[in-house]
Structure 1
């Protein structure tokens, strides 16, 4: 099995990074986490990656006069580690169209909502304000428009009457840690790929499952 070399881009503690590293440590996983790159020298996730034996790199955006210069430095690091695929995991920089287009079909992100609902920030607060009864997370290919890329996978959680932003976020992130490795596996083993602006799947799946909300405990 050929394992695709993946870089994870972070800006903070990297909780989704950890779930990807743990998944990739399994011998049957079709991806190798070859690099963790941060735009912040103090990102806690760097130490966690080093502890797992993963190569790390820092490309401080503050050290570069323009976004294009910053991204050229990132591209150089990615090329030096022979990276084939990028996972964004709490990477808090807006990427230029040029960078996104260079990595088209090879860069994914996880977002804490059921896209196309609640693009951007404060997703849990907005879901609660709207009174929705289900919420969740989405893994998608990255395109120049924010949180608008073709959807690879989604996970759903119920919203309950006493939820706060914190309790809802805690329920969603559990699913994020399961969904992101699942989506990366599908991409790297050829089960899912981007074609003509849509995600194509080579296999069917069980369509009988459902989530009803509300339900009794």
Structure 2
């Protein structure tokens, strides 16, 4: 994915829990603007991708905190220290509480379904089990309710006969990458309006 141009002050953070393919798309597109990557799994390859790219990593072990709010408060403190104007959930598997969400101008997320269908975990597997013929990708603003924030972009992806979770994810990932990169650019271009909070 070609590098894009954002102003130097357009700094954003990424939260990730897995392999980090969405993170890589953002690294490739906006290498000068990705300020920090946060994560909740020490073994997540996403964190290794960030380290290899020279991007600071903030790993927090959930087991060291008494509840979600305490964890989110510490994570927010660490991420906010990098002066970011946007946080991007890119395969981050923890539900963010208002303690975190209220600290930043906007938090966006990518989800492998056509929301509001199949919110939450295992969206691809659930779509297959339901016999859907079409699924897709949604980029949306994050709110306290899981996968319920205003939609920024959606794109359909056909489910083919014989598809498995793995084969369908292989076709969904490029769409996720493209929509997420575009959403970050549109946010910093002033084309997106975050939901009001508080």
Q: Normalized against structure 1, the TM-score is what?
A: 0.81
Kindly state the Cα deviation for residue 148 of structure 1 after the two structures are TM-superposed. 0.4
Deviations for 1:122-160, whole angstroms, at most 9, x for unmatched residues?
A: 222222233322211100000111000000011221112
Classify the secondary structure of the residue corresponding to 2:173.
Answer: helix
- 2-structure distance, mates of 1:70, 1:22: 29
The change in CA–CA distance for 1:54 and 1:118 in structure 2 (over 3 A counts) is same
Residue from 2, 16, 24 that aligns with 1:18 = 24
Aligned to 2:177: 177
Q: Distance in 2 between matches of 1:113 and 1:46?
A: 25
Distance 1:8 1:65 in 2: 24
2:33 corresponds to 1:32: yes
Counterpart CA distance in 2 for 1:79 and 1:96 is 15
Q: Tell me the distance in 2 between the aligned counterparts of 1:195 and 1:106.
A: 8
2:69 corresponding residue in structure 1: 68
* Corresponding residue of 1:78: 79
Aligned to 1:89: 90
Distance 1:182 1:121, change over 3 A: same
2:4: which partner in 1?
Answer: none
Mapped partners of 1:39, 1:126: distance in 2: 25
CA distance in 2, matches of 1:178, 1:52: 20
Three-state SS of the structure 2 residue aligned to 1:193 is coil
User: Number of aligned pairs?
Assistant: 191
1:163 aligns to what SS in structure 2?
coil
- 8 A Cα contact 2:112 2:137, kept in partner: yes
Match of 2:166 in 1: 166
For 1:179 and 1:86, the matched residues in 2 are separated by 15
Deviations 1:78-134 (A, max 9, x none): 12211221001111212223322333x510000000111111122222222333222
Unpaired runs of 5+ in structure 1? 26-30, 198-217
**1:111-130 alignment, distance < 5 Å:** 111-130=111-130
2:147 corresponds in structure 1 to: 147
Match of 1:42 in 2: 43
**Counterpart secondary structure, 1:87:** strand
Distance 1:111 1:126, change over 3 A: same
1:124 and 1:195 map into 2 onto residues whose CA distance is 27
Which residue is 1:133 aligned to? 133
Superposed displacement of residue 2, structure 1: 4.7
Q: Whose radius of gyration is greater, 1 or 2?
A: 1
User: CA RMSD of the aligned region, Å?
Assistant: 1.8
